[in-house]
Amino acid sequence: MGRDEALAALKPLLEDESVLKIGQNMKYDWKIFARHGIRIAPFDDTMLMSYAMHAGLHNHGMDGLSEQYLGHQPIPIKSLLGSGKSALTFDKVPVDEAVKYAAEDADVTLRLWQTFKPLLHRAQVTTVYETLERPLVPVLADMEMAGIKVDKNTLSRMSNAFAQKMAGLEAEIEGLAGQPFNVGSPKQLGEILFDKFQVPGGEKGKTGAYATGADVLEDIAGNIELGVPSDLAQRVLDWRQLSKLKSTYTDALQDHINPETGRVHTSYSIAGANTGRLASTDPNLQNIPVRSEEGRRIREAFVAGPGMRLVSLDYSQIELRILAQVADIPALKQAFRDGVDIHAMTASQMFNVPLDQMTPDIRRRAKAINFGVIYGISGFGLARNLRIPRAEAQAFIDTYFQRFPGIKEYMEATTAFAKQHGYVQTLFGRKINTPEINEKGPKSGFARRAAINAPIQGAAADVIRRAMIRMPAAIARLPANMLLQVHDELLFEVEEGAVPDLIATAKAVMESAPHPAVHLDVPLVVDAGQGANWAEAH
């Protein structure tokens, strides 16, 4: 039987609404069949079942799940394909070997389904799996297949511009150091900072070289009393940022452009982050910095097709809004309801500065504290962010908790719940396990911060998932496609004449996404932008 005959025979079964199809990582299989005109439904996905129950405990690959829950070690793929440059592709594997591997995959997946299906109800995550995980599969698959158009020439020009800027920074860094050296060498940089300039606190690793990671350089850059070493560390951080943008994006993205479509097709991992956030790989389009000018410029290379526009819709301060809800902070709730500038209001409350006398610097400090507190920032971390003395930063945090006592209460209650139950929960019922919450030492601090942040970041992730799941039906009659999700932002490609309709429709879906599952006292607000490229739209 040839491929076309096999697909024709399978199509009625795979699309039959009365027959449940079971898979592991169904998005992969869904896309393969969708390219041949088959849309699988209904289905269950054992990877997503595991994710709904076990987020934070382990990963959700089939081999690991098989060993952990079935006590069976599957045939390793490397035994069939080999590894390295001589590795085969699966179509080159002898059929009798491929059959054993594929049949075992199917058997293990069915057994995992039989194990997990009854446990969903006991773990009280059936609704999460059925409303937030499984329905996202076809939505993401369609987005990945659509891809986004990327202009290779723009990327090439940026690579050259970044190379020139890096060369200028290298000259500046060598001038500050008073000698030529390889800026890309952590060993040489460490010797200049800690031996030549005698910066205190240098630590040597096993190789005998000083540690010069980003955290070390940020500490030095933040300590302006050090003078020249502080400036030197900041320039090296700038150089490293450009180097990363060049290698990761402006150079590498050119190789990711599909020659047949002229578009980049990222892959989304539904079960990649413990909190429900999506992860993007091959290439990762979620980590393009938006705060730096260079990062924004990279977005110029992502363009709309002829006669089309890119439209960006972005939740405004969604995590702060959810914090106001879960921590029940009346002042923050009211400010969001009144449409007040939340950072200016926080600054006014903390520093006793009337709103009409607010300066950009005071607002910037309040913004750093607002967002820092969500992530459990310490006085040390805030001092580094704002480049101020540690005691002053700690005083800011102490004042913040005095002004908004509900936040401290939320943090303590969430930590206590995690210690007692071993997990935390979002407003939508998503469970994020916290296995290290009762550890001692450095791990405990990290686990505590993660537990405090998870219900907030997780609820924001749940909201945008709910919006994405409803979006295809809402925009079905419009000449538009949803292309990308980047944390709190959705990016669409739409015919020029339909831009206003798309914005109105998508905005309504996004702003009403929590209902009817959850009622928020705080309104969700979505900002919209459009342009010929992603930078203009954002």
Say how many C-beta atoms besides its own lie within 10 A of residue 59's C-beta: 13
Residue 510: name the closest of 471, 477, 472, 461 by CA: 471
Give Cβ neighbours of residue 284 (< 8 Å, ≥ 6 apart): 248, 266
Distance CA 47, CA 51 (A): 6
500, two tokens: 């206003």
User: Helix, strand, or coil here: 484?
Assistant: strand
Residues with pLDDT less than 50, the chain? none
Question: In this structure, what are the phi and psi dihedrals at residue 132, rounded to the nearest 5 degrees?
Answer: -120, -25
Distance CA 112, CA 120 (A): 12
Prior bond to 330 cis, omega within 30?
no
Residue 365: name the closest of 397, 333, 405, 402 by CA: 397
pLDDT of residue 176: 95
404, two tokens: 């908004």
Residue 493: name the closest of 272, 309, 320 by CA: 309
**Which residue is associated with the tokens 């300039």?**
197
Distance CA 408, CA 422 (A): 20
Give Cβ neighbours of residue 128 (< 8 Å, ≥ 6 apart): 52, 428, 429, 430, 431
pLDDT of residue 86: 85
CB 214 within 8 A of CB 240: yes
**Opening angle at CA 52, ends 46 and 56, nearest 5:** 110
The model carries a pTM of 0.92
Distance CA 111, CA 168 (A): 60
Distance CA 529, CA 538 (A): 6
**Alpha-carbon separation of residue 59 from 47, 70, 357, 384 (angstroms):** 9, 15, 51, 33
Question: In this predicted model, what pLDDT tens digit does every residue of 484-501 receive, in sequence order?
Answer: 999 999 999 999 999 999
Strands 480-486 and 279-281: unpaired
As to burial, measured by CB atoms within 10 angstroms (0-12 exposed, 13-18 middle, 19+ buried), residue 227 is exposed
Say how many C-beta atoms besides its own lie within 10 A of residue 388's C-beta: 17
H-only helix segments in 191-274: 214-222, 228-245, 252-256
CB 72 within 8 A of CB 41: no
424, two tokens: 């935390």
CB 503 within 8 A of CB 496: no
H-only helix segments in 299-437: 318-326, 330-338, 342-351, 360-374, 379-386, 390-403, 405-421
Distance CA 195, CA 208 (A): 13
Give Cβ neighbours of residue 293 (< 8 Å, ≥ 6 apart): none
pLDDT of residue 258: 96
* CB contact burial 324-346 (16+ within 10 A = b; e otherwise): bbbbebeebbebbeeebebbbbb
Distance CA 318, CA 141 (A): 26
**Which residue is associated with the tokens 């290698």?**
247
484, two tokens: 């990308």
User: Helix, strand, or coil here: 508?
Assistant: helix
pLDDT of residue 223: 83
